[in-house]
Amino acid sequence: MSLECTKCGACCVAPDISSLGKPLGLRCPNLILEGTYGAPAGEPCPPAGPPAPAALAAGAPPAPRYLCAVYENRPQICRDYAADWLCERIAAPTLDERVRKYLAVFDLQPAQGVQIVQIARAANQVSASVPNRT
């Protein structure tokens, strides 16, 4: 059963996309924040997805949404993907949490040399998948 995509970005980070040379757990370089022109690969992505009902009741602003910078020319595997039960199962306030849940569902670990990290920027907590350079 297909669901409406929330543009949370997890499907562009958690799985490997061999046609793009993107390893498991690393953010796709074509994943951009809606309303921007993109960010260099490895740059953090702010939390995304729908805010919790309590946050909506408190007047919280809507969470950021992610888009594909090469949507019209995206690989076939990306064209074939449709939001499904997994999207509901991995729902979480941050992209980092959604990626961790996605990988856990399939008992996977990020590709060797990739670690999912929390990065603090200003007063907001943001998350990113970056290559481990150690």
pTM reported for the whole predicted model: 0.65
Residue-level length of the chain: 134
Using alpha carbons, select from 15, 19, 25 the residue that is nearest to residue 131: 25
pLDDT-derived band at 87, boundaries 50, 70, 90 = very high
Contacts of 68 (CB under 8 A, 6+ apart): 12, 28, 30, 31, 32, 74, 78
For Cα atoms 75, 73, 78, give the angle at the middle one, nearest 5 degrees. Answer: 30
Q: Does 33 or 131 have the greater pLDDT score?
A: 33
User: What is the per-residue burial (b if ≥16 Cβ within 10 Å, else e) of 45-55?
Assistant: bbbbbeeeeee
